[in-house]
């Protein structure tokens, strides 16, 4: 069954779309908050709903290690486990293995690694990653890939890209054989027979021709959507945009395009303007916990002494529940006192800012006036 994705309006290359998942509709372009270990750090699920999050990301690596995918499968899947009835996407585990694990060893079979939690040995392969992601039961799951390190020589980038392609085919084959095993398959309240959607991941380092080739061959393999991985690994933003632009030329118009692990608020608006439909990033949540807040007037570090007696809201143009109620002085006090409420409130504000940026982007596409409407907003975040 094709993964339902419809484009409802366009403004230049930017697209206003709608994905129909087994757990509700998702309007695109969408920013997806990071729900790492089954929780968007510090934010209760009802507040995520209030913020308007329609699709959140869970990390296969983290959930596999703790509490374990078999436990989550046994409890009915990740939606039930974390009590989140809206859509979920899981990553393949490839990026976390690349960034977090110790003693990583990559072979054709997959990646042998040691857990960053307790040093135990594990293998992620295309089959294993797919099996785990089916057990978790995200609405969208990702083919297992190798996140090419940066910088990488051309021959290394090609080699890695070729392996990601072979792994992608193995992921797809495994998925086709096991997709009916998803915990919620056949739930009365799901669309009859709806399975998960599997997305392929384009790699190719910082070589536009390799990126294009990777995209073309991923499309030949056939997926419900296409992601661009291996970015935000230290490259300058211009290079990232160049890679994204190269890939977008090749990807089919009627399938969702997802840029993984980006970015700043102006950046995500920019990618949406280029025709990207989905993005995720730890930045709003992680920065919040470190006191870095995004506002319509730019970034601010809430621990700064100049906010000590500032009675104004974080962002006078923001409609979030934090800006409606609390002052900068109070938020600064919570942060410097290391109060747990600091992380809660800062995260709520930053997520609102990101999700609201995407709401504005969608509105602008609808009006066909992308650059005009957003010029003020996207240049400052």
What character string, x for contact with a second copy (CB under 8 A) and - otherwise, covers 279-298? ----------x---------
In eight-state DSSP terms, residue 150 is: S
Nearest CA to 362 among 48, 27, 32, 20?
27
CB of 163 to a second copy, least distance (A): 32
DSSP letters spanning 20-78: EETTEEEEESEEEEB-TTSS-TT--HHHHHHHT--EEEE-HHHHHHTT-HHHHHHTT-H
Stretch that binds a second copy, among 11-19, 170-178, 292-300, 334-342 (CB under 8 A): 334-342
DSSP letters spanning 299-328: EEETT-GGGTT--S-S-TT--SHHHHH--H
CB of 180 to a second copy, least distance (A): 23
From 266, 277, 280, 356, active-site residue: 280
Which one among 123, 282, 329, 380 touches a second copy, defined by CB under 8 A? 329
CB of 61 to a second copy, least distance (A): 13
Contact call for residue 106 and a second copy (CB under 8 A) = no
CB of 350 to a second copy, least distance (A): 14
Is 173 a known active-site residue?
A: no
Which one among 20, 149, 169, 326 touches a second copy, defined by CB under 8 A? 326
Spatial distance between the Cα atoms of 346 and 270, rounded to a whole number of angstroms: 24
Which one among 11, 56, 82, 88 touches a second copy, defined by CB under 8 A? 82
Contact call for residue 340 and a second copy (CB under 8 A) = yes
- Neighbouring CB atoms inside 10 A of 183's CB total 20
Contact call for residue 337 and a second copy (CB under 8 A) = yes
Spatial distance between the Cα atoms of 184 and 180, rounded to a whole number of angstroms: 9
CB of 179 to a second copy, least distance (A): 25
Contact call for residue 74 and a second copy (CB under 8 A) = yes
DSSP letters spanning 207-263: -HHHHHHHHHHHHHH--SEEEE-S-SSS--HHHHHHHHHHHHHHS-TTS-EEETT--
CB of 358 to a second copy, least distance (A): 23
* Paired sense of beta strands 30-33 and 278-281, if any: parallel
Stretch that binds a second copy, among 76-84, 181-189, 257-265, 352-360 (CB under 8 A): 76-84
Stretch that binds a second copy, among 107-115, 318-326, 350-358, 368-376 (CB under 8 A): 318-326
Contact call for residue 344 and a second copy (CB under 8 A) = yes
Spatial distance between the Cα atoms of 365 and 347, rounded to a whole number of angstroms: 27
For residues 319 and 343, the answer to whether their CB atoms sit within 8 Å is: no
**C-alpha R_g of the chain:** 20
Contact call for residue 333 and a second copy (CB under 8 A) = yes
Is 91 a known active-site residue?
A: yes
How many residues of this chain bind a second copy (CB under 8 A)?
Answer: 37
Which of the residues 28 through 67 are near a second copy (CB under 8 A)?
Answer: 37-39, 41-46, 66-67
> Which residues are part of the catalytic machinery?
91, 280
Contacts with a second copy, residue ranges (CB under 8 A):
37-39, 41-46, 66-67, 71, 74-75, 81-83, 289, 308-309, 311, 321, 325-327, 329-330, 333-334, 336-337, 339-341, 343-345
């Amino acid at each position: 069954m094709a993964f339902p994705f419809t484009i409802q309006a366009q403004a230049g290359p930017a697209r206003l779309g709608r994905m129909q998942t087994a757990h509700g509709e998702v309007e695109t372009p969408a920013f997806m908050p990071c729900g790492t270990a089954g929780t968007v750090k510090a934010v209760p699920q009802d507040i995520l709903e209030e913020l308007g999050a329609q699709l959140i990301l869970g990390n296969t690596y983290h959930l596999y290690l703790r509490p374990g995918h078999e436990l989550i499968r046994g409890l009915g899947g990740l939606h039930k486990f974390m009590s989140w009835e809206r859509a979920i996407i899981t990553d393949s585990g490839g990026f976390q293995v690349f960034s977090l694990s110790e003693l990583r060893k990559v072979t054709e079979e997959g990646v042998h690694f040691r857990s960053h939690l307790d040093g135990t040995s594990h293998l992620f392969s295309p089959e294993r990653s797919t099996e785990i992601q089916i057990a978790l039961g995200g609405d969208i799951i990702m083919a297992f890939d190798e996140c090419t390190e940066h910088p990488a020589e051309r021959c290394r980038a090609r080699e890695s890209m070729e392996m990601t392609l072979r792994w992608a085919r193995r992921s797809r084959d495994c998925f086709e054989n096991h997709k009916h095993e998803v915990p919620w398959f056949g739930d009365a309240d799901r669309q009859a027979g709806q399975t998960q959607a599997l997305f392929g991941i384009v790699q190719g380092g910082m070589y536009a021709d390799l990126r294009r080739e990777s995209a073309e061959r991923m499309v030949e393999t056939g997926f419900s959507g296409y992601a661009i991985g291996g970015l935000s690994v230290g490259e300058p933003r211009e290079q990232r945009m160049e890679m994204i632009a190269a890939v977008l030329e090749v990807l089919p118009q009627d399938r969702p395009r997802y840029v993984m692990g980006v970015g700043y608020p102006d950046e995500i608006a920019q990618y949406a303007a280029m025709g990207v439909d989905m993005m995720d990033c730890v930045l709003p949540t992680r920065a919040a916990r470190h006191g870095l807040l995004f506002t319509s007037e730019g970034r601010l570090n809430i621990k700064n002494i100049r906010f000590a007696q500032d009675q104004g809201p974080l962002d006078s143009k923001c409609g979030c529940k934090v800006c409606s109620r609390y002052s900068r002085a109070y938020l600064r006090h919570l942060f410097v006192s290391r109060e747990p409420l600091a992380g809660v409130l800062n995260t709520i504000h930053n997520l609102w800012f990101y999700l609201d940026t995407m709401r504005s982007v969608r509105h602008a596409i609808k009006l066909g006036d992308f650059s005009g409407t957003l010029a003020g907003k996207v240049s400052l975040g």
